[in-house]
Amino acid sequence: MKKAILLLAMMFSVYMFSQDNKPTFEQVGKMVQATYFHDNGEIAQTGYLLKGKLHGQWFMYDVNGKKIASGKYIDGSRQGKWFFWEGDILKEVDFKDNKIVAVKNWNQSEMVSVRL
């Protein structure tokens, strides 16, 4: 009996786990918040759509849930500053009309000073 219950519980959890991999869409005002998932259930991407196009702030994550990219879309095109994390390197990429116009690499081991 215990084995049968354990088997049913495992089947149910696998079924529920697989359901979490489907993207979710939620209406937020005029926009739709979209969330996409990796096969392991972790969030892969989250952001907004406006009239069917990527619009607003987007975040991307690796399979372990660590943020790997963030930036802004306007009417489906990347615009402004985007940030990409690759190990100890932070890449700052400037986009204009969905084209790269500048790239800066920042190393986390180097000190960055800011004047106020």
In the chain, the N- to C-terminal Cα span, in Å, equals 69
pTM score: 0.73
Considering only the C-alpha atoms of the chain, give the largest distance between any 2 of them, rounded to a whole number of Å.
69
- Helices within the chain (DSSP H only): 2-19
pLDDT digits (tens, 9 = 90+) for 3-42: 434 333 444 444 444 455 899 999 999 999 999 999 999 9
Domain ranges for the chain: 23-107
Q: Which CATH class is domain 23-107?
A: mainly beta
Sign of CA dihedral 13, 15, 17, 20: negative
pLDDT of residue 87: 84
